[in-house]
Amino acid sequence: MSPKALDYESINEKVKKVQYAVRGELYLRASELQKEGKKIIFTNVGNPHALGQKPLSFPRQVVALCQAPFLLDDPNVGLIFPADAIAKAKHYLSLTSGGLGAYSDSRGIPGVRKEVAEFIKRRDGYPSDPELIFLTDGASKGVQQILNTIIRGEGDGVLVPVPQYPLYSATIALFGGSLIPYYLEETENWGLNVNNLSQAVTQARYKGIAVRAMVIINPGNPTGQCLSEANLRQILRFCFQENLVLLGDEVYQQNIYQDERPFISAKKVLMDMGPPISREVQLVSFHTVSKGYWGECGQRGGYFEMTNIPPKTVDEIYKVASISLSPNVPAQILMGLMVNPPKPGDISYEQFIRESKGILESLRRRARLMTDGFNNCRNVVCNFTEGAMYSFPQLRLPPRAIEAAKKDGKVPDVFYCLKLLEATGISTVPGSGFGQKEGVFHLRTTILPAEEDMPEIMVQFQKVQ
């Protein structure tokens, strides 16, 4: 009998080509060990609540009330919910057409998109149009939808930073496009050198690839750097000159651990540059409820904002979004709450600030603890985590270790991370999963383990050398 359509040898080859190391060999092995009873510290994915971070109380109160709207009329509701949470729940329910159980518009609830637009305006100082904001089930889904719109086939290239978060390489592989890597400079604190960009484009064109878009991840994942305004200007100018759509992955915009370089959005810099660039460069920016001090990964909420995208294309993106009917509604409300949090004077304001500041300050301390810890290891060098949720130390593996890995048929950093996992229960991702220069090895770990566990974790890292 000939192979069936879902036999391995006969499925879509693009599916097979996808690689996604964040949940790859290391994660699978860690899951096995966990099943066998070993204590595993999952630092492979930026999943704060899984490592003990508590959800912010106010947004959870509001979403809980939206899930149980019958409580809003209960005379006892005020005993366990604050009045401003009750008011907010009523506000968001009034924006839906049928509560959390009804599909929303496929772009998301209009009232929430308006709140997102107001947030962007406050952040950047430029108007934002709710009609050009689509809510999504997490930022990843938005990135996938935009790449699907751009990529027509393997002749289409997308510039992606290396090291990169493998959402990009995986999605480009799945849609059959070509990933054009541009290297970040580790010795310059993972800075983006525009000369590398030009080179990458030239090489790709030489191979006959039409370079159509460029991805930036700011703050960087896995690299943790924050782009300067000057750098963003260079990037936007480059996109203008080369006629590239810019995809701005800005999901870590709240995760900043130094004061010298605050987050600046690509949209703001684009608008600051004025015409013709501000009117010509096509930009799609992504955000999420999964990161920041929210860390609401499991809720799957995000948005993207489109700038300079023609209405007919927006209609096409809307049409494709509508096949999935709507993003999940509870996370849309969380997104509304994220962009429109409690204000001074609100009953829940003090608590909200206390909780969010507590998380952010602890992350800042952990970024420092981890970087210092790695730099105290023999044969490890590590740039400071300026932003995001990761540390990406370089491992100077001794020739002996590289030899042993080869014997085992493994990439050396995979071999190292497996060894680390078996010895310590720490589940990281090898640098090869993100891309790195030939002959150089890294690992990525989140900075998310509890602060009190951090010293012991760094001791564990130091042991496996």
71: buried, middle or exposed (CB in 10 Å: 19+, 13-18, 0-12)?
middle
DSSP assignments along 124-162, one per residue: HSS---GGGEEEESSHHHHHHHHHHHH--STTEEEEEEE
Cβ atoms within 10 Å, residue 459: 11
CB of 96 to a copy of itself, least distance (A): 7
Q: Residue 118 or 242: which CB sits closer to a copy of itself?
A: 242
DSSP code of residue 391: E
Q: Are 21 and 180 in contact (CB under 8 A)?
A: no
Half-sphere exposure of 379 (CA within 13 A, CB side): 16
H or E element that contains 214: strand 210-217
CB of 265 to a copy of itself, least distance (A): 19
CB of 395 to a copy of itself, least distance (A): 25
Q: Are 284 and 277 in contact (CB under 8 A)?
A: no
Q: Dihedral sign for Cα 286, 294, 271, 200, please.
A: negative
CB of 8 to a copy of itself, least distance (A): 4
CB of 209 to a copy of itself, least distance (A): 13
Q: Residue 4 or 378: which CB sits closer to a copy of itself?
A: 4
State the Cα–Cα distance between residues 83 and 72, nearest whole angstrom: 10
Q: Residue 100 or 388: which CB sits closer to a copy of itself?
A: 100
Angle at 77 (CA atoms; ends 74, 78), nearest 5 degrees? 130
Q: Residue 72 or 464: which CB sits closer to a copy of itself?
A: 72
State the Cα–Cα distance between residues 306 and 218, nearest whole angstrom: 17
State the Cα–Cα distance between residues 454 and 98, nearest whole angstrom: 46
CB of 140 to a copy of itself, least distance (A): 5
Ramachandran class of 431: left when φ > 0, alpha when ψ lies in -120 to 50, beta otherwise: alpha
Q: Residue 11 or 459: which CB sits closer to a copy of itself?
A: 11
CB of 338 to a copy of itself, least distance (A): 13
Q: Residue 374 or 390: which CB sits closer to a copy of itself?
A: 390
Q: Residue 251 or 401: which CB sits closer to a copy of itself?
A: 251
State the Cα–Cα distance between residues 111 and 16, nearest whole angstrom: 41
CA distances from 61 to 23, 336, 337 (A): 32, 14, 11
Q: Does a cis peptide bond (omega within 30 degrees of 0) precede residue 163?
A: yes
CB of 68 to a copy of itself, least distance (A): 4
Q: Residue 61 or 178: which CB sits closer to a copy of itself?
A: 61
Cα-Cα end-to-end distance for the chain = 52
Q: Does a cis peptide bond (omega within 30 degrees of 0) precede residue 276?
A: yes
CB of 36 to a copy of itself, least distance (A): 15
Q: Residue 22 or 418: which CB sits closer to a copy of itself?
A: 22
Q: Residue 55 or 431: which CB sits closer to a copy of itself?
A: 55
CB of 423 to a copy of itself, least distance (A): 22
State the Cα–Cα distance between residues 443 and 223, nearest whole angstrom: 11
